[in-house]
């Protein structure tokens, strides 16, 4: 069964709303999963901080996956959390 198109509910996506203490310009939110911006030895650095600073202006929900061991690396430049430098980074 096909749902009929409802223009009124679609319009609501672009109306201002509030999420707890945050006032949002609309109901669409970009969700970040990972930035693939690790530096040497997969440690977070200046680029990582700059990336997330830019994202705060988007009022994004920020999540980050990290590799828990060298063999667990799924793709390039993924932040690690298994060495002292990565944890301190």
Q: Where are the domains of the chain?
A: 25-88
* Per-residue pLDDT tens listing for the chain (89 residues): 566 666 666 778 888 988 888 888 887 776 566 677 888 888 888 888 888 777 766 666 666 778 899 998 888 888 888 999 988 87
Question: What is the model's pLDDT at position 7?
Answer: 65
Question: What is the model's pLDDT at position 22?
Answer: 80
Helix (H) or strand (E) holding 31: strand 31-32
The answer to whether the CB of 14 falls within 8 A of the CB of 45 is no
Its pTM stands at: 0.51
Contacts of 41 (CB under 8 A, 6+ apart): 80, 83, 85, 86
């Amino acid at each position: 069964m096909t749902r009929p198109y409802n223009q009124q509910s679609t319009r609501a996506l672009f109306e201002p709303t509030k999420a707890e203490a945050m006032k949002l310009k609309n109901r669409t939110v970009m969700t970040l999963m990972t930035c693939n911006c690790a530096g040497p030895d997969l440690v977070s650095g200046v680029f990582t901080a700059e990336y997330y600073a830019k994202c705060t202006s988007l009022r994004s929900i920020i999540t980050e996956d990290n590799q828990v061991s060298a063999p667990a690396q799924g793709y390039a430049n993924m932040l690690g959390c298994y060495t002292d430098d990565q944890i301190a980074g």
